[in-house]
Chain A
Amino acid sequence: MSRLKFDKKICASCETYDCLVKCRYQYLDLEKAKEERWKLIKGEDSIVLTDCVTCYSCEEYCSYGNHPFYQIVDLQEEKGIYPAPKPITNQQIKSVAPIGKRKAEELDDPVVSLCAFPEAKRSLKGNFFDGPPSFIGRDYFCNLMYLHFGKSSVIKERLPRIIDNIWNDKMSKSESKELLCYHDECFGTFTSWAPAYDIDVPFKPIYFYEYLYNQLRENADHINPLNSKVAYQRPCSNRLCPEQQHWVDDIFELVGVERVKRQFDRDEALCCGSILRMQGRDDLAHDLQKKNIEDMVAADVEFCVFNCPFCYYTLSEMVKEKNIKPIMMVDLCNLAWGDPKK
């Protein structure tokens, strides 16, 4: 049985309904949650299907390791209850469809997948990195984002081909067969989603922060502690690989920053709002962004640190307005990387 398969029996025996009660975006009390839970089990129409913002959090909130989110997404597609307006969904599906612009090359380790974010390449040429080989583009894009659009079928259709492209064009000749995944979403796709659907992943995905951490540790004498307070914007895609969360704290410790205690961090992290905007939930996006940034301001942070480029695109200007510096994690490491201590 697939690891991500929703288990109706487990769900039926649950009495906490954490997946729904803890949801930050649907305000269901215990009674209502119980009622909607049954509808999900039976595959019936439910307010959960229409109101879900597709943040993946329920996967993490379920105390039994069940997969309520995948049941929700599958039902959304089955019933045609799509979270986003149709033109937006259709355009998104077109916009990163594979186009056959592939380039086979022999790359030295470590190889980095930059997903579909060309501007991320800039970060790999700072003090910290010496421009490791990377690849990018629609023929190598993981496609997991379509979970946000209730379109699992697109992922199922494209992912086997994408993995083949990555292997044949970029990884088969790599010595270590290890692929650094810049974005949580790629890592989650290759380590969790693909195996769950029996899609073979012939290379070994490595969480990008693990690599960053090891590099920093091995070169500790290059690091000038930043002595700053930071807020971390945990991306929704990290909910697909929550076991990797600790790397954030580990890196922060090495570069000498304090991850402030604030309300909307870790399990309580809020969506950046980009997906909500595309779904047309503007008022909700506005409220979340306001709460999230006010929370950062109250904690008096100097930096807001991002992993997901989309979160960065969405929130960077807003945090700047509040005199908080937006920065990607790899750039924070670049900033801390100085001359070797004499």
Chain B
Amino acid sequence: MGNVYNSLVEIVGAEYVSNQPEETFFYSRDPGLSEPHNPDFVVMPKTTEEVQKIVLLANQEKIPIVPMGGSLTLSGLCIPLKNGIVLDLKRMNHILEINEQSRYALVEAGVSHGVLQSYLNRKHPRLMHSAPDAPPMNTVAGNVAIHGSGHLSQETGFHSEMVQGLEVVLPTGEICYTGSCSVVPKWFARAPLPDLAGLFLGWLGTTGIMTKLSIRLYPKPLKKDVLMFVTENPDYMPDIIYNVTETKMAEDVNLFAQPKPDWAEGFQHTVINITGNSEEEMSFKRRLIRRSLHKYIHNKVGGFMFVLPMIKPGMMEAPMRTLSNFADVEKGGGFEYIGVIIPTENFPILYRDAIQIAEKYRPKWSIMCRVIGRGHSMMFSYAWPFNRADPDDMEMAKKALHESNISGLKSGGVIWKPEVEGQRMMMEAMDPHTLKLLQTIKKTLDPNGIMNPGNWEAK
């Protein structure tokens, strides 16, 4: 191991390698419920070439390697289950290109959503990207690797669908490109080539290390507003989503349900964000959306809440800080935020299940959902804080997580960014030929099994 340490120092410099417990400790865990595992080394490369050298070294020494962005998945995906090297990519933090005309950003893997957003605000105020509702330190690359979603996902799909090109260090050390950048020196599209980006998106870092990516940018409207539709029956939700998305007038559509504050208990809140460049446009959009839900209003079973102007900015900010605040409401350092991607028509089943589970195990909980791609699917998430210092509370939180995974699958969903146990459940449910293909691809790309081992591993 001493040789490995010295080799790593040779690659990135002593300042950016550590095997000291006070540093590896922080890389052994995340705020979720997964058990900690210590890495042997933490390394912070600066360039793709350094990443390549580290991967070659790991291959040579047969040492596991776990790529890490913001480490905010909360499902232990950057915890080194079989020890080895955690590759912290935060030093690769350059925004390499903003193409105003073709609207994309080319960034290194350690660029966070917060940095990209701030950069665009300052230098390219007419452009925006889709920000997830996570703390701003979460990285663009990490988020696409888990099929994250954000404020523009209702209109345009998962963040992984917004990727236009990748630079990847393969598990065997080759540097490889996907999309237009593999043919010409521009990162503007994945089509019309065979879509190799799919070999790295959703694989949780088991097939390679993304070092650069191009992500779509969008026009930034001048005005924002938010409408909130309130119902007391989850059975209405699929139709409400259908009607609102049919108008094509909403930028973002979210739902939340929670027991606190007291005015929220028992209601489903559909939060509809609209944007535009003039009051005339905003007014038109508001009216069409309101009309789309007229039958609920007419039947007195749903209505638009009056959203106080002082509350609106918080509801329209991206990312929403309220979610991060909720994460620490127990003051116990634990937060679980799991999700299921579901077809919208399955919302009522999962909603009822989720409330039952929450009421059984968690005093403080929140259900938050985001409509993806005009209603093709929904990201249905459960969130609850827990007290890490209280073993009973930890146990209850683990039971809630386990039951939520079972419920998610049973209700026709697919577990999002699953922890190892969730991955196992999905692989058990998976078509056997698909599972075989998955394992074959993984084995082909990573013959030594060094990439984030323990994840997507069938027994």
Q: Which residues of B contact A277 (CB under 8 A)?
A: 304, 306
Which residue of the partner chain A has the closest CB to B300? A85
Closest-CB distance, B166 to chain A (whole angstroms) = 43
8 intermolecular pairs with C-beta atoms under 8 Å apart:
A85-B303, A90-B232, A91-B305, A97-B262, A280-B294, A282-B291, A310-B306, A316-B309
> Which B residues contact A (CB, under 8 angstroms)?
230-232, 262-263, 265-267, 279, 283, 287, 290-291, 294, 296-298, 300-306, 308-310
Which chain B residues lie closer than 8 Å to A97 at the CB level?
A: 262
**Secondary structure dominating the interface of A:** helix
Identify A321's interface contact among B279, B294, B308, CB under 8 A. B279
Q: Give bound CA distance, A87 to B268, whole Å.
A: 9
A140 CB, min distance to chain B CBs, angstroms: 17
A277 vs B286: C-alpha distance in the bound complex, in angstroms? 11
Chain B: interface secondary structure? mixed
| Cα of A277 to Cα of B303 in the assembled complex, Å | 9
Is A62 interfacial (CB-CB < 8 Å)? Answer: no
Pick the contact of A91: B230, B279, B294 (CB < 8 A). Answer: B230
B297 and A85 within 8 A (CB): yes
Total count of chain A residues near the partner, CB < 8 A = 27
Q: Is A206 an interface position by the 8 A CB rule?
A: no
Expressed in whole angstroms, the Cα–Cα distance for A313 and B311 within the complex equals: 11
Contact yes or no, B232 A280, CB < 8 A: no
Known contacts A82-B300, A282-B291, A313-B308; decide if A87 and B263 are in contact (CB<8 Å): no
Q: Does A257 contact B (CB under 8 A)?
A: no
- Taking the nearest CB of chain A, how far is it from the CB of B390, in angstroms? 28
Nearest-CB distance from B415 to chain A (Å)?
Answer: 31
**A95 near B: Cβ within 8 Å?**
yes
Shortest beta-carbon contacts, A-B, top 7 = A85-B303, A280-B297, A95-B263, A88-B303, A87-B230, A85-B300, A282-B290
Chain A 289-320: CB-based contact to B (< 8 A → 1; otherwise 0) = 00000000000000000000010010011100
- What per-residue 1/0 map shows which CB atoms of A314-336 lie under 8 Å from chain B? 00111001000000000000000
Chain A residues with CB below 8 A from B291, complex form: 282
Q: Which residue on chain A has the smallest CB distance to residue B278?
A: A321
Given known A282-B290, A321-B279, contact A84–B303 (CB-CB < 8 A): yes
A286, B265: Cα distance in complex, Å = 30
- B287→A85 contact, CB < 8 A: no
Which A residues are CB-close (under 8 A) to B283? 286
Assuming A94-B262, A94-B263, is B306 touching A85 (CB within 8 A)?
no
Contacting pair B310 A119 (CB below 8 A): yes
Interface membership of A162, Cβ < 8 A: no
Chain A contacts with B in 228-282, Cβ cutoff 8 A: 274, 277-280, 282
B301 touches A87 (CB 8 A): yes
Q: Provide the bound-state CA to CA distance between A99 and B263, in Å.
A: 12
List, in ascending order, chain B residues with CB within 8 A of A88's CB: 230, 303-305
Q: Which residues of B contact A161 (CB under 8 A)?
A: none
Q: How far is the CA of A189 from the CA of B230 in the complex (A)?
A: 29
When the two chains form their complex, are residues A278 and B310 in contact, meaning their CB atoms are under 8 A apart? no
